[in-house]
Structure 1
Amino acid sequence: MAGANRCCIAATVLRGFDGRAHHLKEELTKRGLDLQFNADIERIDKQADGSLKATLKDGRVLEADCVFYATGRRPMLDNLGLENTGVKLDERGFVEVDDLYQTAESSILAIGDVIGRVQLTPVALAEGMAVARRLFKPEHIASGYDDPTACSACRTWHVAEEEGKTATRCRSSKAASDP
């Protein structure tokens, strides 16, 4: 195949990131990638010549030599016994928390991928640090998303700089906030 397709179930690339993610879409398109949005694969059939035919749920058909298909993430909450607690899940199956990562069960906090926000390791680390500060150094309370250590994970550097969070400031703020 001369070209390449990328199908996205979502309406955009890098959902959950700031609006500048459209530059990625432009660059991928310039490099010959045919992006298909709001597309979900219904089935994949192997053809006699070894090629693959992917039929999308909306009826479109794409031909390819190779298909990589990621079905998305779900919170790994199986066998934790949450049904025996007051923890509530949202309509997507993620744990509901407030701004301090507190669940409806007062003794249970949740951070990271299970809460369905920005699913990146640096964000989960920042959330964990925010919870640790709240529990062990309450005089240093900061939410994970406002914590400068997460600025590169949640925003492009351009947006972080517009908000006054330069790389130097992020590093110095991190150093100042570390125990």
Structure 2
Amino acid sequence: MANAQAKDPENTLFLDLKDGRVTIQLRPDLAPQHVERIKKLTREGFYDGIVFHRVIDGFMAQTGDPTGTGSGGSKEPDLAAEFTNAPFRRGTLGMARAASPNSANSQFFIMFNDGDWLNGKYTVFGEVVDGMQFIDNITRGEPPANPDKIVKMQVAADAQ
């Protein structure tokens, strides 16, 4: 099933980083509203040039805040949680949020390692299917002194 979904260009993202391209399989079966939000913002160019503002070694890399501080988001309204039993494993993409479960907006994180304590508490919306070595190379820090940026993010169906 993973191979079949990865071949769906409408639900695949290309995340270009300084070291190379990461391919992400989106999971509309788990979080349809979050997947639609990510695709909408991606198609608007929202993520291009945004920094990884919180990168914790052995845990995750967080991005998606246009202010680069961890407190910003898009102009879109916050999303209601779409929690599932899908586990947080290495390469899983989850939506960042504030204390309220229904506060996810544009920020997301990519897991460096498994994080079972997040299961059922954050929305899983995708997984890295290729290029995880480029995620592993993201500069660490909270915030990093010289943060890495998303060079470009695009929906595979739109890629040229």
Query: TM-score under structure 1 normalisation?
Result: 0.21
Higher-Rg member (1/2): 1
Which structure has more relative contact order (CA 8 Å, sep 6+)? It is 2
Instruction: Kindly indicate which of the two structures has a greater share of residues assigned to helix.
Output: 1
